Structure 1
Amino acid sequence: MIPKNIQKTVVSVVRDIVPRNRDIISRRFGLKNGKKETLESIGRSYGITRERVRQIEEFSLKQLSKFVNVNPEVASYVNWARDFIDSKGGVVREKELFKNFSGQESDSSANASLLFLLSVDGALVRYSENDDFHAFWSSSGQKLDSFKNATDALLRALEKSGNVVPGNDLNSFADNNSISNIEACLSISKSVNKNIFDQVGLVSWPEIKPRGVKDKAFLVLKKSGSPKHFAEIARLINGANFSNKKSNVQTIHNELIKDSRFVLVGRGMYALSEWGYSSGTVKDVLVDILKKTQKPMSKASLVAKVMGARIVKENTILLNLQDSKIFSRKEDGTYALRKA
């Protein structure tokens, strides 16, 4: 397609309607500069109500629809759009349609002209933006329904899984859950997205759409898979380029202290509580382990258990075990909690 010629086609379509109606249509679609005007703005300039402007727009579009159905130039643009939409599985986000047509997603007279011709022709289905979806086009009502069903299936599968899906595993995840055209679901749905690590999940998850420093810390720490010093967590956050604004190390440390998702497991070292690490002092961890086992444990077993819950030296664990007010050493060398 040659976008620069579309304005000529638009001029030929609207030339036979009265000047005021032509001007209202042009301003409502932004045919001159890509900037749409509101009903209220146009109404003020003509001294008429918003409702009257809406009526004129509706009447003019119906009038024009009779002309475009026999216009071969309009048909060429509609056919191009249909072919492109079908190449994407029958649905495509409006911004993607625009970019493929004119080279840019943003408002432009070429994009506005395409929107106008497709709207007047009526052969393709436009779905306006709402809380759930970005504006998109479908080549048929059947394709529209199929896409909505696929999106619902994707959301259900993610909710059931509760985990992000790595980008490399996305197609197999879709196959296993009978989800068709998953790329369109990701592009159009506002409920699901990819994060900066190419992981797919619900936008309500902090791993996908981190809200504030603490969610960013959660995301980079979960991605790393192992405990990190708070300064290293700060470096990972700033290196991930969540935004142009750099995060302060002390601010990050303060958030780690306050958030129960993080556990201090060593000197300045933090892990995720979901990894099974325990909070508290080494002595607290020893007490907790012995309470849960409810039987004496060998020194080696206790050391292994504590080191699985905290990042700490063996000598520190052994030093804490020497507190005879809390721990008692049995004749066989095992340790238990001292009875009150």
Structure 2
Amino acid sequence: MSKDIQQVVVSLVKDLAPRNRDIISRRFGLKNGKKETLESIGQGYGITRERVRQIEEFALKQLSKSVFTNSGVANYVNWARDLIDSKGGVVKEKNLFKSFSGQEADTSANASLLFVLSVDGSLARSPENDEFNAFWSSNSEKLNSFKNTMALLTKALEKNSGVVPAGDLPSFAKNNSIDNLDTCLSVSKTISKNIFDEVGLVSWPEVKPRGVKDKAYLVLKKAKSPKHFGDIAKLINEVSFSNKKANVQTVHNELIKDGRFVLVGRGMYALSEWGYSSGTVKDVLVNILKKSQKPLAKASLVAKVMDARMVKENTILLNLQDSKTFSKKEDGTYTLRKA
């Protein structure tokens, strides 16, 4: 089907003035798939960018009047409409190209399809921008509805405050009244899947980790338990974020500097969001007793410290023997010694 579209394009543009025909061909990349800018075309003709834009606009208006008598145009438009409808009314442009020519790239055949659909004008196109990849819809109403769905998905993810595992996506979409989820994910530039097949916002480090510290955060969060910095480096390399291997010392340095990580034992790091506390064992004991409204029993203190740090019970008990800091009452409970 893609082979015959060149003939349809020739039949469409044959009545245009030579310069107008050349400008249209270069703007759409009809010869080789490579679109040219208004400026580069203008330089070749010695005219302004604005003048090139006016000529392009005029030529397209001319062409739009002739599409109704061109059966070849109708065939390609109907094919595209059927494909779009089969995808729920919206399809990413590169997926449309792939179905048409077998390639997503900007080839002459794909450029010709884009040209034919643009001249016809009955299908709605959303050009590529910072939020979306280019996509097509069956009509402008469906296009705007899809954009609203994309906004709804973004808000739902923000409200969720975390990534959604792939297996939970159907129920997540249903609970938030989101249709065309697969198309949303393919079209969006702000929503994506991470290396663990979890969906979230691209701005989140769990989705698009930037640098070693974000990679460490992602693998540690996935591990769900404290790890030695050497093991964290190993996990980063096992996941294979890129061909570049993570250096153990670099990982350790980032863990030390980043407030998302807490040293909870000898070389052992946890996420601060898990409730672990930084500082020495004595610091942790002091903070626990400061927050307590009453003296605490030894067993209670030991349990609370172990929730915050990975230490042995004997280490905690040794710190409690610091009589300058802690006071043991007659009933065996502990408080902070008053200054």
Query: In which range does the TM-score fall when normalised by the shorter chain?
Result: over 0.9
Contact 1:329 1:335 in 2 (8 A): yes
Confirm whether residue 51 of structure 1 aligns to residue 61 of structure 2.
Answer: no
User: Where does structure 1 lack aligned partners over 5 or more consecutive residues?
Assistant: none
Matches within 5 A, 1:89-238: 89-238=88-237
Code of the residue aligned with 2:5 in structure 1: it is I
Residues in 1 aligned to 2:263 and 2:78: alpha-carbon distance in whole angstroms:
61
Give secondary structure in 1 for the equivalent of 2:276: coil
Equivalent residue number for residue 304 of structure 1: 303
Code of the residue aligned with 1:302 in structure 2: it is L
Give secondary structure in 2 for the equivalent of 1:31: coil
Deviations 1:16-73 (A, max 9, x none): 2222222111111111111001111111222222222212211211112222222222
Contact 1:150 1:182 in 2 (8 A): no
The structure 1 segments of at least 4 consecutive aligned residues displaced by more than 3 Å after TM superposition are none
Equivalent residue number for residue 246 of structure 2: 247
**Deviation, structure 1 residue 4:** 2.1
Residues in 2 aligned to 1:120 and 1:271: alpha-carbon distance in whole angstroms:
58
Residues in 2 aligned to 1:141 and 1:41: alpha-carbon distance in whole angstroms:
32
**Deviation, structure 1 residue 305:** 1.2
Equivalent residue number for residue 81 of structure 2: 82
User: Where does structure 2 lack aligned partners over 5 or more consecutive residues?
Assistant: none
Confirm whether residue 322 of structure 1 aligns to residue 327 of structure 2.
Answer: no
Deviations 1:146-185 (A, max 9, x none): 1122112112212222121111111111111112222222
Give secondary structure in 2 for the equivalent of 1:328: strand
Equivalent residue number for residue 72 of structure 1: 71
Residues in 1 aligned to 2:225 and 2:4: alpha-carbon distance in whole angstroms:
58
**Deviation, structure 1 residue 267:** 0.9
Deviations 1:287-316 (A, max 9, x none): 111222232322222221111111112221
How many percent of aligned residue pairs carry the same amino acid?
A: 77
Equivalent residue number for residue 62 of structure 1: 61
Matches within 5 A, 1:7-26: 7-26=6-25
Residues in 1 aligned to 2:30 and 2:330: alpha-carbon distance in whole angstroms:
91
What CA RMSD, in Å, does the superposition of the two structures yield over aligned residues? 1.6
Contact 1:186 1:192 in 2 (8 A): yes
Residues in 1 aligned to 2:68 and 2:225: alpha-carbon distance in whole angstroms:
63
Give secondary structure in 1 for the equivalent of 2:3: helix
Residues in 1 aligned to 2:237 and 2:86: alpha-carbon distance in whole angstroms:
39
**Deviation, structure 1 residue 282:** 0.9
**Deviation, structure 1 residue 275:** 0.4
Residues in 1 aligned to 2:57 and 2:25: alpha-carbon distance in whole angstroms:
13
Deviations 1:234-283 (A, max 9, x none): 12222222222222221121111111111000111111111000000111
Code of the residue aligned with 1:110 in structure 2: it is A
**Deviation, structure 1 residue 286:** 1.2
Give secondary structure in 2 for the equivalent of 1:69: helix
Matches within 5 A, 1:250-265: 250-265=249-264
Moved more, 187-196 or 26-35: 187-196
Residues in 1 aligned to 2:98 and 2:247: alpha-carbon distance in whole angstroms:
38
Contact 1:29 1:37 in 2 (8 A): yes
Residues in 1 aligned to 2:138 and 2:25: alpha-carbon distance in whole angstroms:
25
**Deviation, structure 1 residue 214:** 1.4
Equivalent residue number for residue 334 of structure 1: 333
The normalised TM-score by structure 2 is 0.95
Give secondary structure in 2 for the equivalent of 1:297: coil
Residues in 2 aligned to 1:228 and 1:106: alpha-carbon distance in whole angstroms:
44
